[in-house]
Structures are given as structure tokens and as C-alpha cells.
């Protein structure tokens, strides 16, 4: 698979940015993932004329995006961290 990275995006609320960030060119090892031939053909057709040079590069991008979104949904501040942020915001007069 290709190594196209997706950068982190800020999220609403008190969520942290993900710990992982795959930067383009950093992936040096690869493995094989099997998908149905019919799906491979559909992807191959849909990426014709796009920036993706192969089904692998497209699939790698889609999986990175999916993992990134899942991590954003689960990576929140701990109760202790959230309490510290709230205390600091109160001290600065932003919240009552």
C-alpha cells in the first residue's frame, strides 16, 4: 500500500489530537490485505483519473481517515485533565 498521510484536524470540545500522525513517505514496511475481487474492480474503476495511482494507495487513505475519525471519537481528556482545564478557564474568567 502507498503511504499517503492525513494530518490531524482540530475537533470540537475538549478532545485531544490523535497521538499518531502518519506523514507522507514515512511508511517503509507493507503487508497484504485481501479484499473481494469485485470490490477491487469497483475501486479500480472509481479511482481512474484521480490522484490515486493504485487501489492500495486509495485503500490506505480511506483506512487512515477511518482510524483517525474513530480515534477522535474516543480520545477525550481524562476527568482529571478536564477538571484542570475547567479550573483554569474559571481562573481566567471565561466560565463561572
* pTM score, whole prediction: 0.50
pLDDT at 87: 93
What does the DSSP 8-state code read for residue 53? S
Here the cell at position 88 is: 483554569
CA distance 61 to 28: 16
Radius of gyration of the chain (CA): 19
pLDDT at 71: 78
Per-residue pLDDT of the chain (96 residues; tens, 9 = 90+): 433 343 444 444 444 444 444 444 556 788 999 999 999 999 999 999 999 999 999 999 999 999 888 877 776 778 888 899 999 999 999 998
What does the DSSP 8-state code read for residue 37? H
Facing residues of 76 across strands? 15
As a whole number of angstroms, the longest Cα–Cα distance in the chain is: 59
Amino acid at each position: 500500500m502507498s503511504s499517503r498521510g492525513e494530518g490531524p484536524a482540530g475537533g470540537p470540545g475538549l478532545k485531544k489530537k490523535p497521538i499518531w500522525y502518519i506523514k507522507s513517505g514515512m511508511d517503509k514496511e507493507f503487508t497484504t490485505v485481501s479484499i473481494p475481487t469485485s470490490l477491487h474492480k469497483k475501486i479500480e474503476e472509481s479511482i481512474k483519473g484521480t490522484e490515486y495511482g493504485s487501489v492500495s494507495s486509495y485503500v490506505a487513505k480511506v483506512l487512515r481517515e477511518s482510524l483517525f475519525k474513530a480515534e477522535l471519537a474516543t480520545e477525550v481528556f481524562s476527568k482529571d485533565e478536564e477538571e484542570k482545564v475547567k479550573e483554569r478557564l474559571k481562573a481566567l474568567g471565561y466560565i463561572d
